[in-house]
Chain A
Amino acid sequence: MTEKTIQVQNISGIHARPAARFVKLASQFQCQIKLIKDNLEVDGKSILGIMSLAAEKGSKLTIKADGEKELEAVEQLINLLKNIFKDEEKSQI
């Protein structure tokens, strides 16, 4: 099992669009992917699950993967979130 934690940095948090991008990437992996905020754990391949975390700016998200290519999955998903935070800052202007 691999896990990594990241802090949400964009203003509007993990709203619909970031959640959609996350699910698309997560679904490409065979392994089980979980997303955890505080004591809530949801399936990383469910857009509704991710949205229901209501992860606002400043909150801490943990990605947990278990199974085939779990290292690669966590690394790619963390990078995706970092890119999302950067893109969102840009698109505000």
Chain B
Amino acid sequence: MKKNPKYKKSSEIILIGQPISPGIAIGKSILLADDYIETRKRAIHVKKINSEIERFNKALTETIQDLRLIIEQVGSRVSAHKREIFDAHLMILQDKVIIEQTVNDIRENKVNADFAYFNIMRSYQRNLSASKDTYFKERAIDIRDIKRRVIRKIQGEKHAGSANLKDKIIISRNLNLFDIYAIAKNKVEGIILEGGGRTTHATIIIRALEIPSVIGVERILQNVNAEDEVVVNGLTGEIILNPDSPTLKKSITKRNNYKKFEQRYLGISDLPSVSKDNVAFEIDANIELDDEVESVLAHGDFGIGLFRSEYIFMAKEKPPTEEEQFVKYANVVKRIHPHHVSIRTIDLGGDKFAPFLEAEAENNPFLGWRAIRICIDMPDLFKIQLRAIYRAGILGNVRLLLPMITSIEELRYVKTLTEEVKLDLSNQNIEYDANIPIGVMIEVPSAVMIADQLAKEADFFSIGTNDLVQYALAVDRGNPKVAYLYNFFHPAVLRLIEMIVKAGNDHKIPVSMCGEMAGDPFATILLFGIGIKEFSVSPVMMLKIKQILRCLEFSEAQKIAGHCLKMQTADEIENYMRNVMLELFPNMDEDNFFPENC
């Protein structure tokens, strides 16, 4: 029977992960083998000992050459700290004592090179993995990667390095240093990882190489086969496996537009941030790690509206010391100077954990022991962070931002702590900035209701829409059954924002917004019209939001906002804003576009 194409089932699968490096990639998948090696002990004949040693030396030399290539390709694009790790890897490969031990083992015990090297490296690796210090623990992983790489070379490589990765979409559980090498060398199209965290070496280097990538994509390895067609959206985190032909066509247009638009966006980075009728606004970046400063600066000269300091604390066995924190804050503050850097104090709890806190399980973690409440509960921990922030203040323009304030007493209490910290620093003759502005995150409805009172004692406001929407609408968006209720176009949310802006304006303090809403192009005009003048967004969104606002008159935005504030449902408002955007920018597409008419 002839198959009717009309009934052909689409095999398209859509998965979502965390975007870590922007851009759109389309290509055929290649699955990297799980990083596993096997070494079996073999007896080597006396006559073959010398050629076995030769095999070992050759493998080492080749690995060293490979590593030199990585350093050449990515060395200038990563921080000095990362470069130093590469150099240390080189020295480990060239370690005379290790080489001698391996050669002796081969010669005396007449065993194969891979077996000898494996055992020697493993003993060093074990010492390091037993360390309580995170830095040394991480080095154990480096040693494992080096060990595996050399052994693959000895065994005759059959894995990542030898496969042709050009124009491919790499899919793997995780990447090790030498996978990264192969990626840097081969002009890979995109990367999808099932595991992975934002802070690993691999993701930092992927970002530096500007390869569209998504991590934390659950079940990808179950769903994908080698040579499947794959679309990776490094802007939204969306993965499409086996797209049908209309989807594929749409994705190709998206990809081409993205490349075209990126060039044009970079062209506006130096233009002034003012609307068509000359009303000034400010675009800042949200960052989680000090390394991300590079990607902020790559987009132009911007400030940082939200430095999520808790990422320095997460997944740590013990909290970072004052010095460790100071180095990270100082690095960001110096690079961003003269623009401001708003350092938000530890916002742990809820869904962000740190082992050293030993938090107990809660029925309602988002209503529980989190953010400023932990800081107030653990003043010793908090004061260490405050000391590091006040010291970094002398290196540039720092603002202190307090998360999840619900009452004026909390603000006042934190201020007494900052005074104590300043007094201690003075007594110890340590330099600090005595005039750091202290701002409040407005992300709980109670803070909105008393915004006029908070505005008298705070130096600035920053609206955190993610929590504000969750608390105002009583929706946990992690729960798929109610997630549809989570919508920042809800009339209640708009009224809350309007109240915050009014309180800020009445008391002449700046009001910025740093939640996801600030970076949604469909909300930009509405927010500007309500009176938000500072938008803090992810680095990839900065130039887009800037260009939308540059193409518009503030008076027009006010009219649009006024109209929205009279509407009664979220859907009505959202649809209206979509139409407004399409009218203003007819070439607009969901993920990416370049506003033309200005």
Query: Which one of A43, A52, A92 contacts B323 once the chains associate, using CB atoms below 8 Å?
Result: A92
| Chain A positions within 8 Å of B143 at CB level | 48
Q: B125 — which chain A residues lie within 8 A by C-beta? A: 52
Given contacts A11-B321, A43-B97, contact A16 B85 (CB under 8 A): yes
Q: Which of B82-134 contact A (CB under 8 A)?
A: 84-85, 87-88, 91-92, 95-98, 121, 124-125, 127-128, 130-133
* B380 on interface, CB distance cutoff 8 Å: no
Smallest CB separation, A77 vs chain B (Å): 16
Smallest Cβ-Cβ distance to B86: which chain A residue: A16
Which A48-81 residues sit within 8 Å CB-CB of chain B? 48-49, 51-54, 56
Chain B nearest CB, measured from A47 CB (Å): 5
Q: Mask for B305-349, Cβ within 8 A of A = 1, else 0?
A: 000000000000000010110110010000000000000000000
| A47:B92 contact, CB within 8 angstroms | yes
Bound CA span A53–B87, Å: 19
Determine if B326 and A17 form an interchain contact, defined as CB atoms under 8 angstroms apart.
no
Chain B interface mostly: helix
Can you name the residue of chain B whose Cβ is closest to the Cβ of A12? B135
A34 to B77 alpha-carbon distance, docked (Å): 37
Distance (whole angstroms) from the CB of A76 to the closest CB of chain B: 19
User: Which of A19, A23, A43, A52 has the most C-beta atoms of chain B within 10 angstroms of its own C-beta?
Assistant: A52
Tally of chain A residues near chain B (CB < 8 A): 24
Residue numbers in B under 8 Å from A9 (CB-CB): none
Which residues of chain B from 50 to 79 have any CB-CB distance to chain A below 8 Å in the complex? none
Q: How far is the CB of B311 from chain A (nearest CB, A)?
A: 19
Q: Are A11 and B323 in contact (CB under 8 A)?
A: yes
With A13-B133, A43-B97, A46-B97 in contact, do A54 and B128 touch (Cβ < 8 Å)?
yes
Residues of A within 8 A of B98 (CB): 46, 48
Once the chains bind, are A47 and B323 in contact (CB under 8 Å)?
no
B139 within 8 A of A: yes
Q: Which of B84, B91, B121, B136 contacts A56 (CB 8 A)?
A: B136
Residue of A nearest to B121 (CB): A48
CB atoms of B133 and A16 under 8 A apart: no
Q: How far is the CB of A37 from chain B (nearest CB, A)?
A: 10
Q: Are B92 and A48 in contact (CB under 8 A)?
A: yes
**A38–B87 alpha-carbon span in the complex (Å):** 28
Instruction: Tell me the smallest distance from the CB of B555 to a CB of chain A, in Å.
Output: 49
Residues of A within 8 A of B127 (CB): 40, 52-54
Q: Report chain B residues within 8 Å CB of A92.
A: 323, 326-327
Enumerate chain A interface residues (CB-CB to B < 8 A).
11-13, 15-17, 19-20, 23, 27, 40, 43, 45-49, 51-54, 56, 92-93
Given A47-B92, A48-B143, 16 extra CB contacts under 8 A: A11-B323, A11-B324, A13-B136, A15-B135, A17-B84, A23-B91, A40-B127, A46-B95, A48-B124, A49-B95, A49-B124, A52-B127, A52-B128, A54-B128, A54-B131, A92-B326
A-B contact pairs, 20 of them (CB 8 A): A11-B324, A13-B136, A15-B139, A16-B85, A16-B88, A23-B91, A40-B127, A45-B96, A47-B95, A48-B121, A49-B95, A51-B88, A51-B92, A51-B128, A51-B139, A52-B128, A54-B133, A56-B131, A92-B323, A92-B327
State the 4 A-B residue pairs at the shortest beta-carbon distance, nearest first.
A16-B88, A46-B97, A54-B131, A54-B136
